[in-house]
Chains A and B, each alone.
Chain A
């Protein structure tokens, strides 16, 4: 059939470039490998030339694929499944770009794009390591190209093609029996990007994170190159700036994810020990360990074998995290994972084709890697740096074990083990000790000398130690760490970790002047350590002193709840217009009138007023209506930022979330004094009928004709409420005033006076009495220390990379 109005050219071009990328990266890999192995310089150069051209074509192809996909999405060619499934007409340009990495295919392309950039950069640098490194890079490009290939070999699909048409994806859907199917309304617009992902962090976090992911191949490739060429030591100086760059960017990317989670994804914090977060933290820890052993090797000749291992494992763990995230093995245990595209085998192969040869080569060449049999002095810097690296590595190993044990164990054995009761604590109780040790080592190690330290170092470190101790004591006196839910041992541990973090912060800051005379260009290491230590301090304070402001202090219905002490009841209901007590604030739900332009986000205005009236502000936590065929809402927090704390709020329940009508009717009861009437959540008793009441609520005169029913409502939970509906006569007309017990959602009316002292009451029960929201409000103190720490740490990595790169080049010149 000839379909009307389809634009098939971009897709055909796109698929052509996918195949071209696959073929050219394959050629590049073979050519660079040949070049690496040739002994004849002429042959080596000519193979390298072929490799460079082929890699250039590959990099261009990936760019072209990316460009074509963006063209299809940005010009709304909804005949393509990718555009139809991930974008819509109302999206602005930056979110149209984001929709590329909403799907697996696009995120593989982003990854591949960075390999193209990194590869071109390495070719331009053109060191003698180019050929073996580019072999590894080109091989990775081959693997990534297969991920988007979308071809069948036999019955097995290799990869998933982003240029698939909707009618190819859903070949059996009846709409495609019409040649003009594109003119149908359902093809006029796409499904859009998940509203939650339409966030500015989604524009910046994935590209940075993928640059981090991609660049971890560089230390890996250098290590492979060293093993391959049997030039075990020549690469360590040249590789250092790349390792620093990669680790710095990876760390930044991870914590940008943390910032996004904190700001909008409602994990009630920046880090939840989610399997996906863990999987990307692990390579970072291993690479940090690798950088330190590499520095040790460059200075002393120790720890080269460890460096190899760490750099190999760093990239392998990136591939492992890719497998965990994308294969769907995590199943229920993570919120991040992508949809299972049925590519598990392919993803596993991607992991194995790097892991097995890499580790096999390492084992095979292990004996040849130079090492110094004599061991490090206990007083030497390298000894303690090595211990620190080991701690980081073990920390990574333990996290990996905790993270991947359950899904893999259950898959293999068919058992049904599940995560521990308190998942976060199962990590925290171990990593707090890692933080203590790493903090202490970071503080002290720089004051030690390589090889052997003479006695004077203690005097140098004495002043910073004293300052750190004073800061710690002052902090404990004036603020303190309040977290005590996990017993005295853990409390002691967080206090100790606080001290070692402050200690690391102060000593490294001091070292910039004491150790290297304030030469900031050379102080990259110290700056990074300062940033890291500051982050730790921020993490410890903000998590330990995180406060729930929305404790349910209204006192309603809580008596029976014996667990309320240990499990804080963190949701507080605000009834529209009623100021409610919330910690040191009075909170008022004002309205829910504003929405975004396509009506998918409703903003709830909550006015917060300090009880001493010193300050007031509004928060706008909002609810995002889920798109893409899913019902319901996601909540999206809003915070008030201060320099020293954040007030963070989100909606847990809102009255208008389920838009049911209030169809409840009044039911009539005839009662006598002392009679009891039951309702769904308890009963109420008519105590008395009071003529012409004159109290706080009603001011009737003795001359009026009014009767008040004095009623006590007993809820099932044991609470009591008074209800006082009134029946009165005015202008010869019977009228009544309804009294509503909001807490029980019942309205009671005194509607008639009957014979024999009986009266008629009418009762209405409803969920929709008044508009309200239930929300949670937290206070995160000193969260800015964490963000500042991350920024400083990233700057430190940059300074370090620049300095080491210059140092490496000078050394290279000197050698010639």
Chain B
């Protein structure tokens, strides 16, 4: 066997090992109930802001702390703590992807994606509304 082939085989083996370890790192999208079952495990929680509950964020006291209640499509809700600044338009968001884990009944969120209509995309429907208003 040629040494090039041996090296290729080694590389392929390394690549496969790397990919398997990547698969192990993958996480899941979850609901409140399934995230509760996986207490302490990192998940992507898909939910929306429960607008009937207050959003606690007081940047003067602490700009790195906000607390709100998220509710998923099945109607389960959980308090969420997010150690960062409140994103702009948080109250107007339609959907939240919360990355973090459930700890003692509270979802500790590390990172949050908001579905507003994304800032980088045109919202054709919103533009159409502009057409009919005025």
A: residues with CB less than 8 A from B are 85, 102-103, 166, 170, 173-175, 184-186, 191, 194, 196, 332, 335-339, 375-376, 378, 383, 386-387, 390-391, 394, 397-398, 401-402, 405-406, 416-421, 426, 430, 552, 556-558, 561, 563, 567, 569-573, 575, 626, 628-635, 652-653, 655, 657-658, 681, 715, 717, 742-745, 767, 769-770, 772, 774
CA distance A339 to B117 in the complex (A): 11
**B91-127, CB < 8 A from A:** 91-92, 97, 99, 108, 110, 113, 115-124, 126-127
- Closest chain B residue, CB of each to CB of A187: B131
CB neighbours of B116 from chain A (8 A): 630-632
State whether B62 touches A552 (Cβ < 8 A). yes
State whether A402 touches B22 (Cβ < 8 A). yes
CB neighbours of B120 from chain A (8 A): 194, 196, 335-337
B: residues with CB less than 8 A from A are 2-4, 7-8, 11, 14-15, 18-19, 22, 25-30, 42-44, 57-65, 83-86, 88-89, 91-92, 97, 99, 108, 110, 113, 115-124, 126-134
Task: Tell me, rounded to whole Å, the shortest Cβ–Cβ distance linking A716 to chain B.
Answer: 10
State whether B129 touches A418 (Cβ < 8 A). no
- A sample of 30 cross-chain residue pairs with beta-carbon separation below 8 angstroms, ordered by A number, consists of A166-B131, A173-B128, A175-B131, A335-B120, A337-B121, A375-B4, A378-B3, A394-B15, A401-B19, A420-B22, A420-B26, A420-B27, A421-B99, A421-B110, A426-B22, A567-B83, A567-B110, A571-B59, A571-B63, A571-B64, A573-B63, A628-B122, A631-B89, A631-B92, A632-B89, A633-B89, A652-B63, A653-B63, A742-B60, A769-B60
CA distance A417 to B14 in the complex (A): 23
Given contacts A430-B18, A631-B92, A652-B84, list 9 more A-B pairs with CB under 8 A.
Answer: A174-B132, A191-B127, A375-B2, A406-B26, A416-B29, A418-B29, A418-B44, A571-B84, A635-B88
CB neighbours of B60 from chain A (8 A): 573, 575, 742-743, 745, 769-770, 772
State whether B3 touches A186 (Cβ < 8 A). no
- Closest chain B residue, CB of each to CB of A552: B64
Task: Tell me, rounded to whole Å, the shortest Cβ–Cβ distance linking B122 to chain A.
Answer: 6
Task: Tell me, rounded to whole Å, the shortest Cβ–Cβ distance linking A346 to chain B.
Answer: 19
Pick from A173, A406, A772: contact of B59, CB below 8 A.
A772
CB neighbours of B4 from chain A (8 A): 375-376, 383, 386
- Closest chain B residue, CB of each to CB of A776: B85
CA distance A390 to B3 in the complex (A): 14
CB neighbours of B65 from chain A (8 A): 557, 561
Given contacts A339-B122, A376-B4, A406-B26, contact A629 B63 (CB under 8 A): no
CA distance A657 to B3 in the complex (A): 64
CB neighbours of B18 from chain A (8 A): 398, 430
CA distance A704 to B43 in the complex (A): 64
CA distance A401 to B16 in the complex (A): 11
CB neighbours of B124 from chain A (8 A): 85, 339
State whether B130 touches A191 (Cβ < 8 A). yes
Given contacts A332-B97, A394-B11, A397-B15, contact A743 B131 (CB under 8 A): no
CB neighbours of B26 from chain A (8 A): 406, 417-420
Task: Tell me, rounded to whole Å, the shortest Cβ–Cβ distance linking A273 to chain B.
Answer: 13
CA distance A332 to B27 in the complex (A): 15
CA distance A460 to B10 in the complex (A): 31
Counting chain B CB atoms within 10 Å of each CB, the highest count among A85, A186, A774 belongs to: A774
- 5 tightest CB-CB pairs across the interface, nearest first? A629-B126, A632-B89, A652-B85, A420-B25, A774-B63
CA distance A615 to B4 in the complex (A): 58
CA distance A634 to B119 in the complex (A): 8
